[in-house]
Amino acid sequence: MPDIVLIGGGVIGLSIAFELATRGVSVRVLDQGPFGRESSWAGAGMITPGNPLGAKSPETRLRAESFVMWPEWAARLNEESGIETGFVRCGGIELSPERSESEIAAVATKFQSEGVRAELIGWRELRELEPHLNPEFGDAVHLPDYCQVRNPRLLKALLAACAARGVELSPGSPVIGFERGSQRVTSVRTPAETISAGQFVVCSGAWSQSVLAQAGCSIRVEPVRGQIVLLEALPLPTRRILEVGSRYIVPRADGQLLIGSTEEHVGFEKRNTAEAVAELIRFGSELIPSLKTARFERCWSGLRPGSPNGLPYLGRVPDSDNLFAAAGHFRAGLMLSPITALLLRQLLLGETPDFAMNELTLTQ
């Protein structure tokens, strides 16, 4: 019998499993499909900079704590799996959708007040940094510490590292029910077996609400579709992440460029739509006009686990001594995966948490 069963093998479940396994805990991860093929695979891999010394709100604190963990986390995974995650400090530029000077100045102030390196730059400096950018864009914020990770590679590294540490990985094992006493879950059911364990964690991404409902818990997590277009452009017209409101371009070192992303409340419908794909391509080639002749590679979509306030639920669920949730990471699950793994490990093993969990647990 495993000590801990994790329900969901996306970046969150696999990161927690790896973290626990390095402490000698016996872990089993169940996924209804193959591992790491949902939102975690579909994401763009942006790691927004943060600074724990300046972070004040729960959102900025969580981001900052995770941000500083990333270099070591990526190095550890690389060492344990032999797989390079593609984590790199590529830098980023934030631009204003309305091309408004005051709006972009406010973005710079926000990052600076968090203690993040953020430089307000004008038209000339922007041209020097990004010569291929549409000259209609003027003021911008330069974020030299912006990072990215190749999330499909991160997932491969996590899977290999988990396997090497003896984590029992069970793909094709949907959880379809819980068995419980008054305050404790005793086992979970899949179509093939009933699995007992000491503790259980629901980390089922956009499906977490329905999985938790089977255990009698109501925690709100809803799917929010995001579509992405992949182009190839060699030589790369930019090496930095370019962000304009909720839209962005993420360049990969091998000449691929991701253009994302939509935010759509359409339930569990994962298809790409002609309208969104056209709009993303239009956005990308408006930002970098030379992309009009880039090669169209493909497009995809994923279901982000949305929560009522954009923050994840990290903690024990009400009325259960041994059932936990790590769900609802919305647009930031890749970025927040190292800190989520650390906090859940501390919680599950009864260690003193690095910072107060009640700051981070949603009250719904």
Ligand X SMILES: Cc1cc2nc3c(=O)[nH]c(=O)nc-3n(C[C@H](O)[C@H](O)[C@H](O)COP(=O)(O)OP(=O)(O)OC[C@H]3O[C@@H](n4cnc5c(N)ncnc54)[C@H](O)[C@@H]3O)c2cc1C
Q: Which of 39, 81, 85, 96 binds ligand X (CB under 6 A)?
A: 39
Bridge partners, 199 (sequence order):
4
Closest CA to 112 of 92, 139, 142: 142
Q: Which of 4, 5, 6, 10 binds ligand X (CB under 6 A)?
A: 10
> Does 44 contact ligand X by CB under 6 A?
yes
Q: Which of 5, 6, 7, 140 binds ligand X (CB under 6 A)?
A: 7
Shortest reach from residue 266's CB to ligand X, in Å: 12
At residue 14's C-alpha, the angle toward residues 11 and 17, to 5°, is: 145
Closest CA to 260 of 25, 20, 2, 42: 42
Write the burial class of residue 358 (CB in 10 Å: 0-12 exposed, 13-18 middle, 19+ buried). Answer: exposed
Shortest reach from residue 125's CB to ligand X, in Å: 26
> Does 50 contact ligand X by CB under 6 A?
no
> Does 40 contact ligand X by CB under 6 A?
yes
Shortest reach from residue 346's CB to ligand X, in Å: 19
Binding track, positions 67-106, relative to ligand X; x by CB under 6 A? ----------------------------------------
Residues 243-272 interacting with ligand X (rule: CB under 6 A): 260-261
Closest CA to 121 of 89, 97, 93, 146: 93
Shortest reach from residue 194's CB to ligand X, in Å: 14
> Does 331 contact ligand X by CB under 6 A?
yes
Closest CA to 337 of 41, 11, 88: 11
Strand order from edge to edge, sheet including 194-196 = 177-180, 185-189, 194-196
Q: Which of 91, 226, 315, 338 binds ligand X (CB under 6 A)?
A: 226
Instruction: State phi, psi for 293 to the nearest 5 degrees.
Output: -105, 10
Per CB under 6 A, the segment of 24-32, 109-117, 178-186, 286-294 that binds ligand X is: 24-32
Closest CA to 36 of 52, 56, 64, 17: 17
Please work out the total of residues on this chain that contact ligand X, with binding judged by CB under 6 A: 42
Bridge partners, 260 (sequence order):
228, 248
> Does 241 contact ligand X by CB under 6 A?
no
Bridge partners, 264 (sequence order):
225
Q: How far apart are CA 76 and CA 132, in angstroms?
A: 36
What is the number of H-type helices and E-type strands within the chain? 9, 20
Backbone Cα Rg of the chain:
21
Q: How far apart are CA 260 and CA 11, in angstroms?
A: 19
Q: Which of 16, 17, 25, 30 binds ligand X (CB under 6 A)?
A: 30
Q: Which of 207, 283, 313, 324 binds ligand X (CB under 6 A)?
A: 207
> Does 217 contact ligand X by CB under 6 A?
no
**Minimum CB distance to ligand X smaller for 120 or for 247:** 247
> Does 228 contact ligand X by CB under 6 A?
yes
> Does 205 contact ligand X by CB under 6 A?
yes
Q: Which residues bind ligand X (CB under 6 A)?
A: 7-13, 30-33, 38-40, 42-46, 174-175, 203-207, 211, 226, 228, 260-261, 302, 304-305, 327, 329-335
